[in-house]
Structure 1
Amino acid sequence: MTLQKKATVISSTVAALLTLMKLAIGIASGSVAVLASAVDSVLDMFVSIFNYFAISNSEKPADKEFNYGRGKIEALASIIEGTIITISGLFLLYQAVDKAINGEVSQYVDISIIVMIISLIITISLVIFLNKVAKKTNSMVIRADALHYKTDVYSNAAVLISLVLVSFTGIELIDVFVGGGIALYIIYSAYELIHDGVLVLLDRAVDEEIVNEIKNIINNSEKVNAHHLLKTREAGHQTFVEVHLVFDCIITLMDAHRVSDKIEEKIKKLDTNRDWIINIHMDPYDDFMINDAH
């Protein structure tokens, strides 16, 4: 089992544990804030399970049907995850408004505080783990999962503070405002997941910093007169690079190929966590400039 799959299994298990804890206390206490956190944990669990299958499919090698692999499944998963988070945020916002109108009173506040402290510690540990995996694997799904649980850290902390304040003051509107605030924050956090996923599906180029490093490698390579049509994109853990290199027309194919291989190796060393797919086209003259002239 790959590290990405292990990470999704662990996050799914943790989400299931947090769901049982929060849901029981949320329903019993009547706290919108705790219930909001419980609903979010339910979604976390299903999203993490979905991510496991998304990663399993994205890791399948290219074949006759999918010549470039299935890496974009991760981007699709990120969009679906962001959409689910947005819907959950809207539902929680409705719950907060409903409590404010009906004036419900929270119960079992002391037990709720203990549960939220435990869940906060567990969630922080999970975020640290997922961030390490995301950095090591460059997986969009794991990065999205880490961001998702990071929002849980903030929401859990907010719920804990609201419960303490309600316990000391007895003002139920604190729970309503915190629950509503968490809902709005959840909706806001989902935007980045949807945004990044859409850009990957649209074949956005990799970071400008990496593109400039690739250009520097090419420009500093011997026997390369120029380059054009440099294109980059990402799909899951794969990074695709295409470029035309211009050599002297008298160079042998063997020498041009040897130079191209060296350039490929240098590009791959820019980030060893990426799975680089590099396609270099060798030109005997700058046909790009000739086409522009016409």
Structure 2
Amino acid sequence: MTLQKKATIVSSATATILIVIKLFIGLLSGSVAVLASAIDSVLDLIVSAFNYFAITKAEQPANKKFNYGKGKIEALAAVIEGTVITVSGLFIFYSAIKKALFHEPLERLSESILVMLISLGLTIALVIFLNYVAKKTRSMVVKSDALHYKTDVLSNGAILVSLVLIQVTGFELIDSIMGVIISIYIIHSAYEIIRDGVYILLDASLDEEIVESIKNIILEEKELSDFHYLKTRKSANTNFVDVHLVFSPGISLMRAHHAGDRIEEKIKALIPEGEWVINAHLDPYDDSEINDMRQQVKGEMD
């Protein structure tokens, strides 16, 4: 079993434990913040189970139907996860406003505080583990899961502080105020997850720093005259690079091929733990203007 899959199983198990204890105490105490946190944990469990499925599909090798593999299913999973998180944030916001309007009383504050302490400890441990897996595997699904649980750390901490303040001051409106703040933060975090997933689905280029490094590597090759049509994208743990390398007309195919190999090896070293698919087209002269004119004429004819 891969490390990514193990991470989703650990996330699911942790979410299950948190659901049981938060839901039980939340219903007894009537705390909208604790109940909202319990609902968030239910969504965590659903998302973690879906992530396991997504990673399993993404790891399948390329075939005749899916020539580039199914890596983009991770980005799709991130978009779905972000959407689920947004819905949970909106529900927490609604619950907080409703509690503030109807002035529902809080009970069993001591038990609620203990539950949130346990939740905070478990969530912090999970975030540390998920960050380790995300850094090691560069999996977008695990990265999204880690970001999600980071928001849980902050929300659990905020809920814990609010419960302590309520116990000390007796000002129960703090519960609703904290619920609103947590919901806004959750929705903001979900936007970032959705954005990153959509970028991959739309074949956005690799990070600007990586693209600049690729350009520098190409320009450092002495056998080259120039390059054009550099395109990059990412799918799951695979980085794709397409480029036209321009050589002098008299160069042998063997020398041009070796130069291309050197460039590819240096590019792969930028992210050694990642997978790379590099397609370098070898040009004996700069044909970019001619190709651009052909495309323009074709577009006018269409």
Taking structure 1 as the reference length, the TM-score comes to 0.97
Instruction: Give the aligned residue type for 1:200.
Output: I
* Alignment map for 1:102-141 (pairs within 5 Å): 102-141=102-141
Helix, strand or coil: the match of 1:277? strand
- Partner residue, 2:93: 93
* Alignment map for 1:148-163 (pairs within 5 Å): 148-163=148-163
1:196 Cα deviation (Å)?
A: 0.8
Taking structure 2 as the reference length, the TM-score comes to 0.95
- Partner residue, 2:297: none
Unaligned runs of 5+ in 2: 295-302
Does 2:235 match 1:235? yes
Q: Percent identity?
A: 61
1:293 Cα deviation (Å)?
A: 7.1
- Partner residue, 1:257: 257
1:292 Cα deviation (Å)?
A: 4.9
- Partner residue, 1:188: 188
1:259 Cα deviation (Å)?
A: 1.2
Helix, strand or coil: the match of 1:107? coil
Q: In 2, are the aligned partners of 1:36 and 1:183 still within 8 Å (CA)?
A: no
**Distance in 2 (alpha carbons) for counterparts of 1:176 and 1:126:** 27
1:96 Cα deviation (Å)?
A: 1.1
Instruction: Give the aligned residue type for 2:273.
Output: N
1:253 Cα deviation (Å)?
A: 1.5
**Distance in 2 (alpha carbons) for counterparts of 1:256 and 1:87:** 54
1:8 Cα deviation (Å)?
A: 0.8
**Distance in 2 (alpha carbons) for counterparts of 1:29 and 1:291:** 70
**Distance in 2 (alpha carbons) for counterparts of 1:135 and 1:155:** 24
**Distance in 2 (alpha carbons) for counterparts of 1:293 and 1:226:** 19
Instruction: Give the aligned residue type for 1:187.
Output: I
**Distance in 2 (alpha carbons) for counterparts of 1:258 and 1:41:** 54
1:186 Cα deviation (Å)?
A: 1.1
1:137 Cα deviation (Å)?
A: 1.0
Helix, strand or coil: the match of 1:117? helix
Does 2:148 match 1:143? no
**Distance in 1 (alpha carbons) for counterparts of 2:148 and 2:202:** 23
**Distance in 2 (alpha carbons) for counterparts of 1:35 and 1:278:** 50
- Partner residue, 2:299: none
1:230 Cα deviation (Å)?
A: 0.4
Q: In 2, are the aligned partners of 1:205 and 1:232 still within 8 Å (CA)?
A: yes
Aligned structure 1 segments of 4 or more residues deviating by more than 2 angstroms: 289-294
1:291 Cα deviation (Å)?
A: 3.9
* Alignment map for 1:1-294 (pairs within 5 Å): 1-292=1-292
1:103 Cα deviation (Å)?
A: 1.2
Instruction: Give the aligned residue type for 1:53.
Output: F
Residues 219-248 of structure 1 show CA distances to partners (whole Å, capped at 9, x for unaligned) of 111211110000000011111000000112
**Distance in 1 (alpha carbons) for counterparts of 2:136 and 2:78:** 19
Helix, strand or coil: the match of 1:249? coil
**Distance in 2 (alpha carbons) for counterparts of 1:29 and 1:119:** 16
**Distance in 2 (alpha carbons) for counterparts of 1:18 and 1:124:** 13
1:174 Cα deviation (Å)?
A: 0.7
Q: In 2, are the aligned partners of 1:55 and 1:74 still within 8 Å (CA)?
A: yes
**Distance in 1 (alpha carbons) for counterparts of 2:293 and 2:56:** 48
**Distance in 2 (alpha carbons) for counterparts of 1:214 and 1:97:** 51
- Partner residue, 2:300: none
Cα RMSD for the two superposed structures: 1.1
